[in-house]
Structure 1
Amino acid sequence: MKLALAATTALLLTACSGGLKVTESDLQHHHWNLAAIDGVAVGADIQSDLEIGEHFSINGLAGCNRFFGSATLEQGKLRADPLGVTQMACAPEQQKVEAAVLNTLTQGATVQHSGQQLELKGEQHTLTYQLADWVQ
């Protein structure tokens, strides 16, 4: 009984400290909507999303341009490089969001995943996504 209690306590402490490793299967087949950049909510008029699919393909809307490619997840860090990106002109606010998203994805970001929320913490920005739904 004491051994089981000690093991459960150790597991809970590890989970609370962020020690549980995020795997590709935790992130695949989900559609995420960008909710905040650096803790500041993204305006409702700016749509930005992220989908991670089979074989860790990645695509979405950065700010006003679509992006696509493949990503890797190594030692808890997500990186998508190179990314293909459409080349439409963006409004200044959309461009700020787009630059933060594309830079974070291509430079690499530490992943924190807690059910309905995905956080990508890069060198310059922290992107917070909310789960929209499951995708094929």
Structure 2
Amino acid sequence: MKTVKAITLILSSVILGACTAETQIIPQEVKIEQLQHNWKLTHVDNIQLATVINSTLTIDPQNKSTGNLGCNNFIGKAEFSDNQLRITDMANTRKMCDELKNGVEMDVTSVLSDWSNVMVDQDSLIIGNNKHSLTYQLLKTVN
């Protein structure tokens, strides 16, 4: 009977350990074509955005980038290298924004204007640097 209890305890430990072990994420190569879509920002730093925030990112086949930072519109050129993205020559409107939208704008601008890591998973795009992570949802393909 002690043997059965010992075996049960050992198997339980192994099974529970396997369930709680962290899954290693293996980075996959991203191609610029995977980014050339219309995207809607859904999360900043894994926190879901309020519905009043309508931040978007569009990258067309010529790598022209347009969208909304949270309150102000922007335009620029996407550069992509070694699974990293940045928007150069970024110009944006200068509307007065409320505190919530302004905070989102600052985070989005800091990520997009500097080289940031990119991951694409079917219908989501994650762009992040050592300060912030932006999660976008695919809206539609750009032609």
Q: With the length of structure 1 as denominator, give the TM-score of the two structures.
A: 0.84
| Bigger Rg, which one | 2
AA of the residue aligned to 1:21: E
1:110 matched to 2:131: no
Aligned mates of 1:77, 1:69 — CA distance in 2 = 16
CA RMSD of aligned residues (A): 1.2
Show structure 1 runs of 5+ residues with no match: 1-15
What is residue 131 of structure 1 aligned with on the other side? 138
Q: CA deviation at 1:19?
A: 3.5
Aligned residue in 1 for 2:32? 24
Amino acid at match of 2:126: E
Question: AA paired with 1:111?
Answer: V
Residue identity over aligned pairs, in percent, reads 29
Report the alpha carbon displacement of residue 56 of structure 1 after superposing the two structures with TM: 1.1
- Structure 2 residue runs of 5 or longer lacking an equivalent are 1-23
Task: Report the TM-score, using the length of structure 2 for normalisation.
Answer: 0.80
Please identify runs of 4+ aligned residues in structure 1 that moved more than 2 A.
16-20
Q: Helix, strand or coil for the counterpart of 2:33?
A: helix
> 2-side partners of 1:21 and 1:129: how far apart?
18
Report the more deviating stretch, 17-26 or 112-121.
17-26
Q: What's the offset of the Cα at 1:54? A: 1.8
Distance 1:60 1:108 in 2: 18
